[in-house]
Amino acid sequence: MSQLKPMIIVILMLTSALTGCTSTGNENIVQIEINSPLEGDWIEGQVQISITTKMTVSEGIEIWINDNYYSTEELGIVTDFDIDTSHFSDENGSPVDLNIELIYQNVSLTEVNVTALFPQQMTFWSSEDIQPEFNLDGELLFKSSKGLEPRMYEIYHLNPGVTTSTKISTEQEYHGYPGPSPSGTHVVFNSWVIDEAGNTQMEIFTANISTGETYRLTDNPSFDDSGRWSPDGSEIIFYSNRDGTMDLWKISVNESGYPLETAVKVLESDAREHCGRWSFDGHYIVYESDKTGINHLWMITSDGLNETQLTFDENQNGYPAWHPSGDYIVYNKQTSTSSNLHILSLLDGETKRLTMHQMGVDAHPTWSADGKYIAFHSDRAGNFDIWMMEIPLTI
Ligand SMILES: [Ca+2]
Ligand SMILES: [Ca+2]
Ligand SMILES: [Ca+2]
């Protein structure tokens, strides 16, 4: 676990060379700080290097990255510049450590050490391809509107080593939030049905990925959504407003996803709870709640006790997913201008920013069982697709 080190502040006594004046003994004291990124940060894409300087004139400062000349930027009047980290990607898209150094007349002013990440686009259809979820074998399930009416989706299986995704057929037309069973043989999802009165209602289903045989787990007029299988395979958690407010519920199933008992409420709360996600060991459930008035991440033990708030900032935080160790949670933070992924450490409460795309919406992350990859959906390439990035094993 890397710690944010104190910002490097370099105070350099610059002689007359900087101002063009002859030296009178009143040397200019130039102070330069790199405000962002910070030492130890992860960065990706086009990254703005934000500088604070007390220079009063614009001067050419050389940018060196990993001891190679990168560019010369006019600093002083303009204090920020951009670097394109894609120049440093290897063919595998593995993380690369970057030392970014500012040099003036062969003198190092300041430097920062960061790790560049390289998200890889995994789907290229013009359809909406969203809501990826890893199975334990490092393959992804997601939903796609490919070839369908707007707001209709089918489930696809994506093996990152294979370029084409294969469709998983079920007995339902609409599919939401596909999630694999621990064995990988079945999928849980939510789907609309039409009741006897002609009203549509959202229900939880499971299906056999090979045969398409489908079971219905819920049957009521309320909204039942976003099911996830417990790691031991015995239960499926979902959220439902059947009892007034959105709450976390769970239902026992057999190994084929067939419901064994009626659903029970996991947590009693007047707030809006949803997106319950089991830790890999099954001992904890992370979820979203607007209990404080803002959508934040919360956690309980799997028995529904020990309710704990995890995020406290002014932004909407959602779509949590566990690291296999249970020590970290990746989630998306929605600000007024962006939606990017962040990692929360449950060890010390620190957060680390994972994606930095200014325009695109990055959301719905999922962590591979080996801890090495995070997949998410993003519209950064023009429409929503599945993206995947390798991350350092040391967070
Ligand atoms: Ca329902
Ligand atoms: Ca509630
Ligand atoms: Ca797409």
Question: What's the CATH number where 28 sits?
Answer: 2.60.40.10
Give how many domains the chain has, as a whole number.
Answer: 2
My answer on whether 162 and 71 are in the same domain is no
How remote is the CA of residue 333 from the centroid of ligand 2, in Å? 21
194 inside domain: yes
4 inside domain: no
Residue 138 and residue 118 in contact, taking contact as beta carbons nearer than 8 Å: no
326 inside domain: yes
How remote is the CA of residue 224 from the centroid of ligand 2, in Å? 13
How remote is the CA of residue 275 from the centroid of ligand 2, in Å? 12
Ligand approaching nearest to the C-alpha of 274? 2
Ligand approaching nearest to the C-alpha of 224? 1
Residues with CB under 5 A from ligand 1 (ion): 201, 203, 220, 222, 224
My answer on whether 62 and 44 are in the same domain is yes
How remote is the CA of residue 224 from the centroid of ligand 1, in Å? 5
Among 68, 96, 117, identify where a domain stops. 117
Q: How many residues does the chain have?
A: 395
Ligand approaching nearest to the C-alpha of 248? 2
Alpha carbon distance 310, 26 (integer Å): 52
My answer on whether 107 and 196 are in the same domain is no
How remote is the CA of residue 128 from the centroid of ligand 3, in Å? 5
Instruction: State the pairing for strand pair 362-367/373-378.
Output: antiparallel
How remote is the CA of residue 332 from the centroid of ligand 2, in Å? 21
Ligand approaching nearest to the C-alpha of 298? 2
My answer on whether 155 and 78 are in the same domain is no
Q: Can you give the pLDDT at residue 13?
A: 41
Alpha carbon distance 295, 170 (integer Å): 33
My answer on whether 94 and 219 are in the same domain is no
My answer on whether 104 and 154 are in the same domain is no
- The edge-to-edge listing of strands for the beta sheet with 284-289 is 273-278, 284-289, 296-301, 308-309
Ligand approaching nearest to the C-alpha of 227? 1
Token pair listed for 61: 């400062």
How remote is the CA of residue 240 from the centroid of ligand 1, in Å? 7
How remote is the CA of residue 367 from the centroid of ligand 3, in Å? 21
Among 93, 117, 141, identify where a domain stops. 117
How remote is the CA of residue 326 from the centroid of ligand 3, in Å? 31
395 inside domain: no
Residue 148: count other Cβ atoms within 10 Å of its Cβ: 14
My answer on whether 191 and 282 are in the same domain is yes
How remote is the CA of residue 266 from the centroid of ligand 2, in Å? 10
- The edge-to-edge listing of strands for the beta sheet with 59-65 is 42-44, 107-117, 96-104, 59-65, 68-75
How remote is the CA of residue 107 from the centroid of ligand 1, in Å? 67
My answer on whether 73 and 147 are in the same domain is no
Q: Which residues contact 4 (CB under 8 A, 6 or more apart)?
A: 38, 39, 40, 350
The radius of gyration of the chain's CA atoms, rounded to the nearest angstrom, is 25
The separation between the first and the last C-alpha atoms of the chain, rounded to the nearest angstrom, is: 5
pLDDT by residue for the chain (395 residues), tens digit each? 344 333 333 344 433 334 333 333 334 445 788 999 999 999 999 999 999 888 778 888 999 999 999 999 988 777 889 999 999 998 889 999 999 999 988 889 999 999 999 999 999 999 999 999 999 999 999 999 999 998 999 999 999 988 789 999 999 999 999 999 999 999 999 999 998 889 999 999 999 999 999 999 999 999 999 999 999 999 999 999 999 999 999 999 999 999 999 999 999 999 999 999 999 999 999 999 999 999 999 999 999 999 999 999 999 999 999 999 999 999 999 998 889 999 999 999 999 999 988 788 999 999 999 999 999 999 999 999 999 999 998 88
How remote is the CA of residue 146 from the centroid of ligand 3, in Å? 8
My answer on whether 38 and 158 are in the same domain is no
Q: Which domain holds residue 349?
A: 120-390
Token pair 């391809």: residue: 129
How remote is the CA of residue 259 from the centroid of ligand 1, in Å? 15
CATH number (domain holding residue 253)? 2.120.10.30
Ligand approaching nearest to the C-alpha of 244? 2
Ligand approaching nearest to the C-alpha of 193? 1
Alpha carbon distance 317, 311 (integer Å): 8
How remote is the CA of residue 239 from the centroid of ligand 1, in Å? 10
My answer on whether 173 and 111 are in the same domain is no
My answer on whether 63 and 206 are in the same domain is no
How remote is the CA of residue 287 from the centroid of ligand 1, in Å? 20
147 inside domain: yes
151 inside domain: yes
How remote is the CA of residue 331 from the centroid of ligand 2, in Å? 21
25 inside domain: yes
Among 85, 117, 149, identify where a domain stops. 117
My answer on whether 87 and 166 are in the same domain is no
How remote is the CA of residue 177 from the centroid of ligand 2, in Å? 20
Ligand approaching nearest to the C-alpha of 219? 1
2 inside domain: no
